[in-house]
């Protein structure tokens, strides 16, 4: 009798040649098209799976795993894993993994780019030019805020935050950060970053970049109160998760001149965008692409594949996935 192989579900198209390695160990069920699943469709796919490779689009909690008795491992292709209910998975004995490190530098590059684009009004100026509004060179057109010599604030000083801090030294910026816990002195020296309290970070930053992981404790941590503490000329950049910022409060601040500009790569209801943000000129909006270089996205998938193979007890690291996550 031929023994059937464990079955894994790959929820989205993710570089066929990278994902192909799963075929050495498992029966692979995948899709050719980018797919928007309902919660019930996710439950249905998981009910027949022993393992899954998923993206931040797939929200998986107790309802999705209730009918999945065989499911042993879920490998998330992303460093953030707020799409997974980790306590519910742990209670069911399902191992979850993520993809840290491989995306650090690419994401830090993009955070910096978004900050520059927002502060120097790059997309706004381009739209204006394409609309044929540029009639004559003008000394006072599209004036923005400098990065060089300014104060950069970083909220969330993990690997990506540290990457942004290192880039800032090339722009001669003063770097302040706030984090759940203060970093070791050696890291502060290497990144040339100084720890400050949350309110001081808000008050001092000319440009504030959000890089903290999302949890219900920091939901809307940037709200009207926080925005009111920022400089009216400041730039706010969010490359973390949309739920960290109260988007209505941000739209109020940007529209009223209480805040200079914003660069947002993530949104609370993405891919739906708050229409008030869409209507504003002083915000740069990008579709959650901070880790989106070709090389990095391929490396993320390769790492997620390693994690899934190991978490399912196969391959050279059987039983020891490189990146397990806990609550």
Q: Which residue, 8 or 84, has its beta carbon nearer to ligand DGY?
A: 84
Residue 304: closest CA among 9, 104, 98, 59: 98
Stretch that binds ligand DGY, among 72-80, 151-159, 187-195, 277-285 (CB under 6 A): 72-80
Q: Is 59 exposed, middle or buried, given 0-12, 13-18 or 19+ CB atoms closer than 10 A?
A: middle
Strand locations in the chain (E):
7-10, 27-29, 51-54, 73-76, 95-97, 151-155, 174-178, 193-195, 207-210, 235-238, 261-264, 283-285
- We find the least distance from the C-beta atom of residue 113 to ligand DGY, in angstroms, to be 15
Residue 142: CB minimum distance to ligand DGY, A: 30
Which residue in 6, 61, 80, 158 binds ligand DGY (CB under 6 A)? 80
From CA 327, how far away is CA 325, in angstroms rounded? 7
241 catalytic per annotation: yes
Encoded one letter per residue, x for contact with ligand DGY by CB under 6 A and - for no contact, window 276-315 reads ---------------x------------------------
Please confirm, yes or no, whether 207 is among the known catalytic residues. Answer: no
Closest separation in Å from C-beta 56 to ligand DGY? 6
Catalytic residue flag (residue 44): no
- Active-site entry in 258, 270, 276, 298: 270
| Residue 56 binds ligand DGY (CB under 6 A) | yes
- Judged by beta carbon, residue 238 or residue 291, the one nearer ligand DGY is 291
Burial of 106 (0-12, 13-18, 19+ CB in 10 A): buried
Where do we find the tokens 């927002």? Answer: 118
Q: Which is nearer to ligand DGY, 103 or 117 (CB)?
A: 103
153 binds ligand DGY (CB under 6 A): no
Report yes or no: 296 and 271 within 8 Å, Cβ to Cβ. Answer: no
CA distances from 9 to 112, 268, 315 (A): 35, 27, 18
Judged by the rule CB under 6 A, the positions of this chain that interact with ligand DGY are: 56, 78-80, 103, 291
Tell me which residues are annotated as active site. 241, 270, 288
């Amino acid at each position: 009798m031929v023994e059937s192989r464990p079955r894994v579900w790959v929820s989205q198209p993710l570089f066929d040649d990278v994902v192909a390695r799963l075929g050495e160990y498992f029966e692979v069920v995948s899709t050719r098209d980018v797919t928007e699943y309902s919660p019930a469709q996710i439950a249905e796919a998981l009910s027949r799976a022993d393992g899954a490779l998923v993206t931040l689009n797939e929200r998986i909690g107790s309802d999705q795993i209730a009918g999945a008795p065989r499911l042993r491992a879920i490998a998330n292709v992303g460093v953030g894993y707020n799409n997974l209910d980790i306590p519910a998975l742990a209670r069911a004995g399902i191992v979850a993994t993520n993809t840290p490190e491989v995306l650090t530098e690419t994401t830090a590059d993009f955070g910096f780019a978004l900050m520059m684009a927002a502060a120097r009004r790059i997309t706004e100026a381009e739209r204006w030019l394409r609309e044929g509004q540029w009639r004559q060179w003008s000394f006072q057109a599209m004036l923005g805020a400098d990065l060089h010599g300014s104060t950069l604030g970083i909220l969330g000083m993990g690997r990506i935050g540290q990457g942004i801090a290192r880039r800032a030294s090339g722009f001669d910026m003063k770097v302040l950060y706030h984090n759940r816990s203060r970093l070791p002195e050696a890291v502060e020296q290497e990144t040339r970053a100084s720890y400050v309290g949350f309110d001081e970070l808000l008050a001092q930053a000319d440009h504030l970049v959000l890089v903290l992981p999302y949890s219900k404790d920091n939901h809307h941590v940037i709200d009207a109160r926080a925005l009111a503490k920022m400089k009216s000329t400041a730039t706010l950049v969010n490359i973390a998760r949309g739920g960290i910022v109260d988007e209505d409060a941000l739209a109020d601040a940007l529209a009223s001149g209480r805040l200079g500009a914003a660069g947002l790569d993530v949104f609370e209801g993405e891919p739906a965008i708050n229409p008030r943000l869409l209507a504003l000129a002083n915000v740069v909006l990008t579709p959650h692409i901070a880790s989106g270089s070709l090389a990095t996205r391929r490396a993320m998938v390769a790492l997620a594949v390693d994690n899934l193979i190991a978490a399912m007890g196969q391959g050279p690291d059987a039983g020891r996935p490189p990146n397990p996550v806990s609550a």
